[in-house]
Amino acid sequence: QVQLVESGGGLVQAGGSLRLSCAASGRTFSIYAMGWFRQAPGKEREFVAASSWSGGSTYYADSVKGRFTISRDNSGNTVYLQMNSLHPEDTAVYYCAADRRRVLSTNGGEYEYWGQGTQVTVSS
């Protein structure tokens, strides 16, 4: 099994930046894909960004392209989400997810492991 713990959320003004971190523990050797999802009040969970084990393959939601960057450390056990030029629309609970399957997916249903989430609030 794999455990995921997110950190780095908080309150920031529009145009500001935050960096989210997600640390994986347990059977981390089996992880291939790690990603970020978010859910705002009254809205469905949506894909934000995902990365392969090496970080060589990444994918971003159109809404965050050019503003957010996903990266992983050398071990692949920590994933980061650097969020720049934040908008009020980015306000949501952000969830880290991971999966051992060798597929980079934008579908949350394909991810086996999930963190508890970290709140990001962007004031206008």
pLDDT digits (tens, 9 = 90+) for 49-97: 999 987 889 999 999 999 999 998 887 789 999 999 999 999 999 999 9
Q: How many CB atoms lie within 10 A of CB 74?
A: 8
Please calculate the CA angle 24-5-97 and round it to the nearest 5 degrees: 70
Q: Residue 115 — pLDDT band, cuts 50, 70, 90?
A: very high
Which residues lie closer than 8 Å to 25 by C-beta, 6 or more apart? Answer: 2, 3, 5, 77
State the pLDDT at residue 108. Answer: 93
Residue 28 in this model has a pLDDT that exceeds 90? no
